[in-house]
């Protein structure tokens, strides 16, 4: 087989890139190690920056999102029994969209099917070859046979645990990371949201978040120790603890119910540089991870794909200046999003080793945010997303 761009990873980053390239007349093949059902079964974030919304429209998958997505003009932040609003529309004249990653992935697969573009699932032992030369290729095993795909470029969109980043030599690769000493226990429940907008809550007992997927489907989170497991948190105990971390007026009206899905996710900040080496370009979680506090994970993948699609389209037409600048352009935005996600995490979580001084500083920061329009504007500008 031969194609122009081999895309490693069939999640949102790889599929959006494939759509943008297909619409530009560039052949591409997506190679994914899991089944399609497995990819569609993953529960992920659903807060989209408006730049991401526009990118999905350009990729031809915005119709269902426009009908069923939920635009939000702000978020609410709770501190004890105090609650205040960050008004995106007033402060920065932008908004965000609530539309689940599972729905985005489904739309992207269906669009790819309509375009008749090839997708390989259940590809085992994926290996990248020749990325330092002009004739890269990808091999994998499937159905007891070895397969090979020759290409001009490889896009590594296969996540933190994928093969793409590890193909870049360790002598060239630089990695920066911070692991946080807690995780998020999240449940999905067939209950109405706690409020019309997301509520981020900082309390002495730890962080909590009330989010949503649809008017009848909610996603809630609480900060828990890394040593905890989902078995430690039956539904009744989860709801009780969530209520303790919310303002009384919110807890009083919270509708509870059985969980559909429950999981604990560790929090990590991670960046790998550079994002391009030879004929390999990284995008999304293959190159960086952010804690979910700032709602940046999928949105960062989208901005990477925006820059990478521009670069590959330019290379298709004989210009290499965009591909030469890809890593620099992408990383400039990545580090700003990393900073914001780190700051939101530090602002809203309790740390096991924090001192009384640390707690007072966090309380002062929250009080300042509630009182200062300038501080709220800075948060809003970063939350809705810096321009691509």
Q: Which residues belong to the active site?
A: 72, 200, 292, 296, 383
Beta-bridged to residue 264, according to DSSP, are 185
Beta-bridged to residue 74, according to DSSP, are 87
Q: Kindly give, in sequence order, each residue whose CB lies less than 8 Å from that of residue 299, ignoring residues fewer than 6 positions away.
A: 47, 48, 49, 51, 52, 337, 385
Instruction: Put the strands of the sheet holding 199-202 in their side by side order.
Output: 82-87, 74-79, 199-202, 208-214, 217-224, 174-189, 261-273, 288-289
Q: Kindly give, in sequence order, each residue whose CB lies less than 8 Å from that of residue 274, ignoring residues fewer than 6 positions away.
A: 168, 172, 173, 174, 327, 331
Which residue has tokens 């303790």? 244
Q: Kindly give, in sequence order, each residue whose CB lies less than 8 Å from that of residue 365, ignoring residues fewer than 6 positions away.
A: 347
Taken in order 280, 60, 330, 283, the sign of the CA dihedral is negative
Which residue has tokens 């529309």? 89
Tell me 2's DSSP state.
Answer: B
Instruction: Return the closest-CA partner of residue 245 out of 95, 78, 123, 25.
Output: 78
Q: Kindly give, in sequence order, each residue whose CB lies less than 8 Å from that of residue 337, ignoring residues fewer than 6 positions away.
A: 290, 294, 296, 299, 300, 382, 386
Q: What is the 3-state secondary structure (H, E, C) of 62-122?
A: CHHHHHHCEEECEEEEEECCEEEEEEHHHHHCCCEEECCHHHHHHHHHHHHHHHCCCEECC
Q: Which residues of 69-82 are buried (b: 16+ CB within 10 A; e: fewer)?
A: bbebbbbbbbbeee
Contact 56, 16 (CB under 8 A): yes
Beta-bridged to residue 154, according to DSSP, are 6, 280
């Amino acid at each position: 087989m031969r194609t122009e761009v081999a895309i490693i990873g069939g999640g949102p980053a790889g599929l959006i890139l494939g759509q943008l390239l297909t619409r530009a007349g560039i052949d591409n093949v997506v190679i994914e190690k899991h089944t399609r059902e497995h990819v569609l079964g993953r529960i992920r974030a659903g807060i989209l920056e408006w730049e991401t919304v526009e990118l999905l429209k350009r990729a031809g998958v915005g119709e269902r999102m426009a009908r069923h997505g939920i635009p939000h003009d702000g978020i609410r932040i709770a501190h004890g029994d105090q609650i205040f609003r960050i008004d995106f529309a007033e402060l920065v004249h932008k908004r965000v969209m609530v539309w689940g990653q599972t729905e985005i992935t489904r739309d992207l697969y269906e669009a790819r099917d309509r375009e008749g573009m090839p997708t390989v699932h259940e590809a085992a032992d994926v290996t990248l070859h020749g990325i330092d030369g002009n004739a890269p290729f990808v091999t994998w095993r499937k159905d007891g046979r070895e397969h090979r795909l020759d290409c001009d470029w490889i896009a590594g969109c296969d996540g933190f645990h994928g093969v793409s980043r590890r193909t870049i030599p360790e002598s060239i690769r630089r990695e920066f990371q911070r692991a946080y000493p807690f995780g998020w226990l999240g449940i999905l429940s067939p209950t109405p949201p706690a409020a019309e907008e997301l509520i981020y809550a900082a309390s002495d007992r730890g962080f909590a978040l009330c989010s949503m997927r649809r008017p009848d489907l909610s996603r809630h989170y609480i900060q828990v120790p890394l040593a905890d497991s989902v078995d430690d948190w039956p539904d009744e105990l989860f709801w009780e603890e969530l209520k303790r971390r919310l303002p009384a007026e919110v807890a009083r009206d919270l509708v509870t119910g059985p969980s559909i899905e429950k999981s604990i996710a560790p929090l990590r900040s991670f960046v790998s540089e550079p994002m391009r080496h030879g004929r390999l370009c990284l995008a999304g979680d293959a190159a960086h991870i952010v804690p979910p506090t700032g709602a940046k994970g999928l949105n960062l993948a989208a901005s990477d794909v925006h820059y990478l699609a521009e670069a590959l389209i330019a290379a298709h037409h004989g210009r290499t200046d965009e591909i030469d600048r890809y890593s620099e352009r992408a990383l400039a935005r990545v580090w700003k999003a990393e900073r914001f996600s780190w700051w939101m995490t530090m602002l809203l979580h309790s740390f096991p080793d924090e001192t009384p001084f640390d707690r007072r500083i966090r309380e002062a920061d929250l009080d300042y945010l509630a009182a200062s329009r300038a501080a709220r504007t800075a948060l809003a500008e970063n939350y809705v997303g810096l321009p691509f």
